[in-house]
Amino acid sequence: MITFENVEIRFGDFVALPDYQLTVEEGEFFTLLGPSGCGKSTALRALAGFIQPSRGDIRIGGKRVTHLPSHRREIGMVFQSYALFPTLSVWENIAFGLKVAKVSKAETMERVREIAREVNLSDEQLAKSVTDLSGGQQQRVAIARALVLRPKILLLDEPLSNLDAKLRHQLRAQLKDLQQEFGITTVYVTHDQDEALTMSDRIAVMNNGRIEQVGTPQDVYTRSATEFVCNFVGDANKLSPATVQVVMRDGGSHLDPARPAYVRIEKVRIEAADTAASAAVPALAGRVSSRHYHGVYSSYRVETDRGMLRGILQEDGRGGFQPGDPVRLLVNPDDVLQYGVSRYGVAS
């Protein structure tokens, strides 16, 4: 549906995207994930037609759109700030694109009402000035305005970042539902790994203008292709060579203590020091140095003689451990992610 072919984007001397390659399938919810400045917004804006590549091509549905103006690419976009027109009413905002396209009054009426129903905007809200709406309502107007033109692609540029935490969580689901209902190919830009993991069909993790990994949320999380992805997505312990050596004692012959190694914090098992040792798994002895209560679980920092490790424990009502308690930590060698010295080293 969407392809970036060797796209290069420069701002003066600065190369934002050196050689960008990407394919997004039809109907997919595709997320560009990365820290700020990684080029994800640049890629999105190039797709929208706001930025011209200095090299390469962008295709939509096989058609080359590299030099096509924005409005002829059949895309809709929801901006980070929503970019609602402050001097127009909600209705006028949504109808703006139709009016520009000289759609008849009757059809405009019908289509605006229809989309308003879809995004749950009441007639009363349609009559209001956009400045009188709450953040969540504004976002719905922005979505309605983008979808009313029936675009083939929907671009979402961090649309949830302006909202408070609770609303953000609710809207993730709504956004995803809406996308599935319309079946529209969606490109979503965010720096929030939670959003990316929960909403996407596929994720491209970006860093420094390059794509580090493309894959399903599970792929990206459990089989992080690079050290960067591993660190950026989810939460991982970096293992010291000494720790790796302990882990290698049982079935970890494929591991190399000289290479960087990580284990996700939820893969670290924490057991009371007096529990009978599981023979299958090599253990590290340590003491709890701090505990943070999260309701569903608690996270622990454990000081071992081979370095500090973090782990989590489900809150099962039995109280867990307290700082100072002696514990032992277990890491399955299969759970260790290991990378080459170079960033492009092979995964374990």
Partner 1 sequence: MNGSLKQLLRSPLFLVVAAVLLWFSVTFLIYPNLTLLGTVFMPEGQLSFDAIRRLMSSQRAMESLRNSFLLAVILSVTVNAVGIFIVLATRYFDIKGARVLWLGYASTLIYGGIVLVAGYKFLYGDSGFITRLLLNVFPGMSASWFTGMFAVVFVMTFACTGNHLLFFGNALAKVDFQTIEAARMMGASSWKVLRSIVLPTLMPMVYAITILTFLGGLSALAAPQVLGGEDFQTVTPMILTFANAPSSRDLAATLAMILGLSTIVLLAVMNRLEKGGTYFSVSKVPVFLQKQKIENPVANVVVHAVAYALFAVYALPPVLIVIFSFTDAASIQSATLDPGSFTLNNYLRVFTDYSALWPFLVSIGYSAVATTVVVFGLLFVARLVQKFRNPATAAIEYILHIPWILPSTMVALGLIVTFDHSEWLVGNIVLTGTLAILAIAYVIGKIPFTLRMLKAAFAAVPDQLEEAAAILGAGSFTTFRRILLPIVAPTAAAVAALNFNHLLDDYDTAVFLAHPLYQPLGIVIKNATSNDTLTDTTALTFVYTVILMAITGVTMWLVYGRGAGSGVSRRRRPSPKATKALLSASPEAAREPRELAAAGAANTLEK
Partner 2 sequence: MIASAPITLGDILKRRIVLLGAVLAAGSLLSTACTPPGQASASSNESLIIYSNSVSDGRGDWLKKEAAAAGFKIDFVDLGGGDVMNRLTAEKNNPVADVTFGLNNVYFEKLKAQNVLDPYTPAWAGDVDASLGDQAGKQFWPIVREPIMLVFNKAAYATPAAAPQDWTDLWTKDQFKGKYEVPTALGGATTQMVLAGILARYADPNGELGISAEGWAQVKAYFANGSRAVTGEDLYSRMKKSQVDAGQMWLSGKASREKQYGIATEAVKPAVGVPFAVQQVALIKGTKKAETAKKFIDWFGSADVQAKWSKQFFTAPANNKAAAAADAQAIQQTAAFKNQAIDWTLVGKYIDKWVEKIQLEYLKG
User: Residue numbers of the site for partner 1 (CB under 8 A)?
Assistant: 45, 48-50, 69-71, 75-77, 79-81, 83-88, 96-97, 100-101, 131, 145-146, 149
Q: Helix (H, G, I), strand (E, B), or coil: what is residue 214?
A: strand
* 105, burial (CB in 10 Å: exposed 0-12, middle 13-18, buried 19+): exposed
Nearer to partner 1, 45 or 111 (CB): 45
329 binds, among partner 2, partner 1, none (CB under 5 to 8 A by kind): none
Three-class HEC string of 287-302: EEEEEEECCCEEEEEE
**Minimal distance in Å, beta carbon 87 to partner 2?**
6
Q: Helix (H, G, I), strand (E, B), or coil: what is residue 185?
A: strand
Binding site for partner 2 (CB under 8 A): 87, 89, 91-92, 123, 126-129, 132
**Minimal distance in Å, beta carbon 99 to partner 1?**
9
- DSSP structure class, residue 204: E
| Contact call for residues 235 and 299 (beta carbons, < 8 A) | no
79 binds, among partner 1, partner 2, none (CB under 5 to 8 A by kind): partner 1
| Contact call for residues 144 and 115 (beta carbons, < 8 A) | yes
Nearer to partner 1, 144 or 331 (CB): 144
Nearer to partner 2, 6 or 87 (CB): 87
Q: Please name every residue paired with 312 in a beta bridge, in sequence order, or none if there are none.
A: 299
132 binds, among partner 1, partner 2, none (CB under 5 to 8 A by kind): partner 2
| Contact call for residues 247 and 259 (beta carbons, < 8 A) | no
**Minimal distance in Å, beta carbon 135 to partner 1?**
13
Nearer to partner 2, 96 or 297 (CB): 96
Nearer to partner 2, 127 or 277 (CB): 127
- What's the Rg (C-alpha) of the chain? 24
242 binds, among partner 1, partner 2, none (CB under 5 to 8 A by kind): none
**Minimal distance in Å, beta carbon 127 to partner 2?**
4
Strand stretches in the chain, DSSP E: 2-11, 14-24, 29-33, 55-60, 63-64, 75-78, 153-157, 185-190, 202-207, 210-215, 236-239, 261-264, 269-272, 283-293, 297-304, 307-314, 326-330, 337-338
69 binds, among partner 1, partner 2, none (CB under 5 to 8 A by kind): partner 1
Nearer to partner 2, 90 or 171 (CB): 90
- DSSP structure class, residue 67: T
70 binds, among partner 1, partner 2, none (CB under 5 to 8 A by kind): partner 1
